[in-house]
A and B are shown apart, each in its own frame.
Chain A
Amino acid sequence: MARSPLLVGNASAFWGDDPNAAARLVSQQPDLDFLTLDYLAEVSLSIMAIQRAKDPNAGYARDFVDVVRSLIPAWRDGSDLKIVANAGGLNPQACGRACVQALGEAGLGRLKVAVVSGDDVLPAIRNQTQRSFDNLETGEGIQRIFDRLTTANAYLGAGGIAAALRAGANLIVTGRVADPSLTVGACLAHFGWAPDDYDKIAGATIAGHLIECGTQACGGFSTDWLELPHPEDIGFPIVEVADDGSCIVTKPGGTGGSVNLRTVKEQLLYEIGDPGNYISPDATASLLGIELKEVAQDRVSIRGASGHAPTSHYKVSATYRDGYKAHAMITIFGRNAAEKARRCGESVLQRLAESGLKFERSLVEVLGTGASVPGLELPGKPNELLEAVLRVSVADPRREAVERFSKQIAPLVTAGPQGVTGYSAGRPKVQAVFGYWPCLIDKILVNERMEILEHDLIPVS
């Protein structure tokens, strides 16, 4: 007999998403089996690298430990909820230990915490011999940035998560794992699928892909956003995955937003390349045969996914130091606002140039005039705008050069045109820039590990 569907939810699409979402989702949907949380965008790990350099116990998403604490009441009430999060970042062990400590303090030492690691492939890349790690997009060799590499992490698959669940883990902390694999791992352990049940794994991969961006599956970021009911309270998504790999996408009753054919279709193709070859570490999936159906309000079924064997490589997201940047913004109101804004921006750069300071890169944008898509022919007349926002950006290898720029915006408050306003946040912050270097690594070179952390061994700090 087929097992009942597995309810997998998502309560975090990125580092900085709503910290109350997890507890809210669990209270709205008490029968939820599995909660996934995503914390890692392409360059999040470079921020964690800076944190770890200052403190060897840092380098992970500390917010996740607060999320774990927020779920303590549910576990105390006997919930069997399991959680998996890639919050471990560059230091999954430290993240796992912090979770063990939080659970121990709450008297929940019975809950098992697992750590999945091995995604950090920086040593493997540093020790490379003939393997090239060429940039996946440009084909360029890695030599140019080799000495500036800060992080390199492979997108692991579902294997470690499934192993942790089979070992009885309640809470799983990982480093870099492919987003859909959080869901696939739960399904592998729950349904006992074989690692080569590729059609089913493809179905779970698509289910995981649908929820990995949180509220985006429920109308967030959608074209028809203005028509959503209660956009102030968009529900986080849940997939009910069946034993055959099909699923129903839904959200808790009583929440805002909408799960309909349009919101689900948009999310299905979000950040997708070839829809016939969606490459994930657990399977290569095709979306070309899937059928969508609205089976009830806020319930869309998806079936018909097909898959085949995954590739022999993991994708690696590497980052490298690439100088500094700063962005400054100031508002200009009045006649010819856009022209005044542009003149202001150019004058800042001109003054610095005349003092001998030229930046490697700089950009003047006038927001309100279509600056998001510079050069495109759009409806509307920029010269009729009564208000515009100036945004000036510079980037340079020299931190001190970018710092000099950051001191040249405030003078516009008195030297700029009448109607300059909105300069209250202070000098723009000088930020380190990290370049993104996508490449591939042979799976043979990656040693994925799973460990269950012991409560006894936790030092009390």
Chain B
Amino acid sequence: MKKASFRLGDIAFARSGDKGSSANIAVFARDESDYSLLCDRLTSKVVKNYFQPLGAGEVMRYEVPNLAALNFVLSGVLAEGGSRSLRIDAQGKTLGQAILELTI
């Protein structure tokens, strides 16, 4: 049965942080039974499209089944990185909250 679209934050929690001019966003299924749904819907392409306006280049997705998690590394999404960027969020602190607003 194909589940209708939903807000990611309804089934997941997340954490983001910076890695130079890149950032990582880890997304965790609240209920382990939702992990396969997460894997199906939250592809690297979906994540890349969502964060395109921020300048996300390549998006790598790593599966971490033992934590019911997907870890995304978004290259270039912090523009010029924590020290140079003029943005209010130069360190990707907000990206975890942002991805939870995604409808998939």
Mark A residues whose CB is within 8 Å of B: 42-43, 46, 136-138, 221-224, 262, 265-276, 287-292, 319, 322, 325, 327, 361-363, 365, 367, 371-376, 378-379, 391, 393-395, 433-436, 438
Contact = CB atoms under 8 A, between A and B. Distances in A.
A263 to B, nearest CB: 10
A136 B18 CA distance: 15
Looking at chain B's contact residues, the main secondary structure is mixed
Contacts of B38: none
Contact of B96 (A223, A274, A325): A223
Given A275-B62, A372-B94, A42 B24 contact: no
Given A269-B71, A372-B89, A436 B24 contact: no
B98 A266 contact: no
Contact of A376 (B14, B28, B64, B98): B98
B83 A373 contact: no
Contacts, number: 136
Interface of B: 13-15, 17-22, 24, 26, 28, 30, 50-54, 60, 62, 64, 66-67, 69, 71, 73, 75, 80-84, 86-89, 93-98, 100-101
Contacts of B82: 42-43, 436
A147 B71 CA distance: 37
A269 B64 contact: yes
Given A275-B62, A373-B98, 16 more contacts: A137-B21, A137-B22, A137-B75, A265-B28, A271-B24, A272-B24, A272-B71, A273-B62, A274-B60, A275-B71, A287-B67, A372-B88, A375-B53, A376-B50, A395-B86, A438-B20
Given A42-B83, A376-B54, A262 B101 contact: no
Contacts of B94: 372-373
Given A137-B22, A378-B101, A379-B101, A269 B86 contact: no
Given A265-B69, A268-B67, A287-B64, A374 B53 contact: yes
A365 B87 contact: yes
Contacts of A266: 13-15, 26, 28
A373 B67 CA distance: 27
A325 B86 contact: yes
Closest CB pairs A-B (n = 10): A375-B53, A269-B26, A223-B13, A271-B17, A393-B86, A266-B15, A372-B94, A372-B89, A363-B86, A43-B83
Contacts of A268: 67
Given A372-B88, A376-B51, A271 B98 contact: no
A43 B86 CA distance: 15
Contacts of B53: 373-376
Contact of B83 (A136, A371, A394, A434): A434
Contacts of A376: 50-51, 53-54, 98, 101
A137 B18 CA distance: 13
Contact of A223 (B14, B22, B50, B95): B14
